[in-house]
Structure 1
Amino acid sequence: MDRLAFNAMAAINEERIGRHQLSNDIANVSTVGFKRTFEVTLQPHQAVGEGFDSRLQPRMYANDQIILDPGPLMVTGRDLDVAMNHKTVLGVTASNGELAFTRRGDLKVNSNGVLETGSGHIVRSQDGGPITVPQGFKLSFGSDGNLYAIDPAQPGVPQQQVIAQLLLKDASDTALAKREDGLFKVDGKPPGTDFASGTGPVSLTPQALEGSSVNPMASMVKLIEQSRSFEHQVRIIKESKSNDESGASMMKVG
């Protein structure tokens, strides 16, 4: 009974990582540019110590690598909205000052005139610094990542001027993992590590946003499966307790 209940309890504890990941995916169904990571798997692991060699315990293996498959494209018509095409990622500055990457393209200009994402992370230019926008200028993006500005007060026909280029990288040849703040980092490298752009194309779709890559229906089905698995493990613990009590009652002296 002890081994049976222990195995069931170990399975419940190990599956918590999958439950946390699934809960995070469901919470970000409507988050712009959100990317899922590879799913966790529950595998048998041989227990070390005294006992039979056939003793196996469940162990959860997680993979934090990001799946960069494109999400649904939403046309907004807003000049500061951009959607990264293919496996392009945007370089930003994390809250601790480190270099990080994201697929979130709902950009805005803060009160200091600096370009940032909708979550408040400063967007980096190709030279690695922040992008300062002239006050009162009309902004627009090109498909190559250039930021154009037009001075409405300019006499005659206003001319577009390139004021910066976004730090865009192709991550088709680089494995990215998720940071604690939701941004991306190079998998297996210290946070803030840069990487060379791959051979894939780097481009944007202006006036559009990329939706979350989470499938709500598939996530709900997985949530139901995990709930049933939890109930099944609890039922095993209860049944093993009942069997133990029945066996103990047979040993009582009449």
Structure 2
Amino acid sequence: MEIIVCVKQVPDTTEVKIDPVTNTLIRQGVPSIINPFDRNAVEAALQLKEKQGGSVTVISMGPPQAKEALKECLAMGADSAVLISERAFGGADTLATSYTLAAAVKKLGAFDIIFCGKQAIDGDTAQVGPEMAEHLGIAQLTYVAKIDVVEDNTVRVEREHEDGYEIIEVKLPLLASVVKSINEPRFPTVKGTMKANRMEIPVWTAGDLAVDEQKIGLKGSPTQVGKIFTPPQRTQGVIIKKDTAREAVAELIRKLSDAKIV
């Protein structure tokens, strides 16, 4: 079984910085981690490979430093990795990103399943996976909490909902975006880390993918950010202490009235 996993290196959530000119995230030189949901996607791919055989290829679009995220995936057990990186890809929204990743998948060749994380913690859009499936013309299932192969070209998937699970059988090829409850990602081993450090990770540019340059990066991004700002820090609330609940309620109403809230 040929499996592809899309991962994203995201800024540490406590270190997010915004370019005031382009209104995009500044990634260069910022402490970064593998998007947590993408770690679950890698683990799902590895478990499926262990059951069915085949190979796992991990791809990522980002700056050169994203190679570190790919090396971690290789250390976990992935067979190969590819970085899609060029200045022209910078500033891409979900549509441009999904278009570029879909082009990379086509370059890789035949596949059975693409795994993605449910969403990235920096953008929280959950759009790239489904949009990739549309570009590739394949089935897609989101919020996947369990996946099993029932026949050579059919899988049974459990989709997580607030009130339970939806069980679906679908023909391959398939794109599946996974939730956190699907598994517990393994840690890279020492042997795996040493092997990953020796592996060469190819870097593909726009020329390698033969993409339309009007559909990548900022040029190919119809989503425009009008303004971005840090919300004001919340002030500490007021604690009301009275002898009885009636007195406390009366005091609360008085304070709300003084503040012209009621």
Normalising by structure 2, we get a TM-score of: 0.25
Normalising by structure 1, we get a TM-score of: 0.26
Greater RCO, CA 8 A, separation 6+: 1
Larger Rg: 1
